[in-house]
Amino acid sequence: MSENYQINELLNEIEKQTNFSGQKPRIRIHTLERPLKTTLTGHTATVESVCFSPDGKYIVSGSYDGTVRVWDWEKSEEKTIFKGHTGGVSSVCFSPDGKYIVSGSWDMTVRVWDWGESEEKVIFKGHTDEVESVCFSPDGKYAVSGSWDMTVRVWKLENCEEKIILSHTERVDAVCFSPDGKYIVSGSDDKTVRVWEWENSKKIIIH
Residue 4, SS3 per DSSP: helix
For residue 63, list its beta bridge partners. 47
DSSP letters along 146-193, please?
Answer: EETTSEEEEEETTTTEEEEEEE-SS-EEEEEE-TTSSEEEEEETTS-E
pLDDT digits (tens, 9 = 90+) for 93-106: 999 999 999 999 99
Q: Which of 10-14, 44-48, 87-91, 110-114 has the lowest mean pLDDT?
A: 10-14
pTM for the whole structure: 0.80
Q: How many Å apart are CA 188 and CA 199, to the nearest integer?
A: 21
Q: Where are the domains of the chain?
A: 1-36, 38-206
Q: How far is CA 41 from the centre of its chain?
A: 17
Spatial contact of 139 and 100, defined as CB atoms under 8 Å apart? no
CA terminus-to-terminus distance, the chain? 47
* Paired sense of beta strands 161-167 and 172-177, if any: unpaired
Q: How many Å apart are CA 108 and CA 130, to the nearest integer?
A: 5
CATH superfamily of the 38-206 domain:
YVTN repeat-like/Quinoprotein amine dehydrogenase (2.130.10.10)
pLDDT digits (tens, 9 = 90+) for 125-181: 999 999 999 999 999 999 999 999 999 999 999 989 999 999 999 999 999 999 999
Q: How many Å apart are CA 167 and CA 55, to the nearest integer?
A: 34
**pLDDT higher than 80, residue 12:** no
Q: Which residues contact 100 (CB under 8 A, 6 or more apart)?
A: 94, 112, 113, 114, 115, 121, 136, 140, 157
Q: How many Å apart are CA 11 and CA 56, to the nearest integer?
A: 36
Spatial contact of 136 and 93, defined as CB atoms under 8 Å apart? yes
**pLDDT higher than 50, residue 191:** yes
* Paired sense of beta strands 109-114 and 119-125, if any: antiparallel
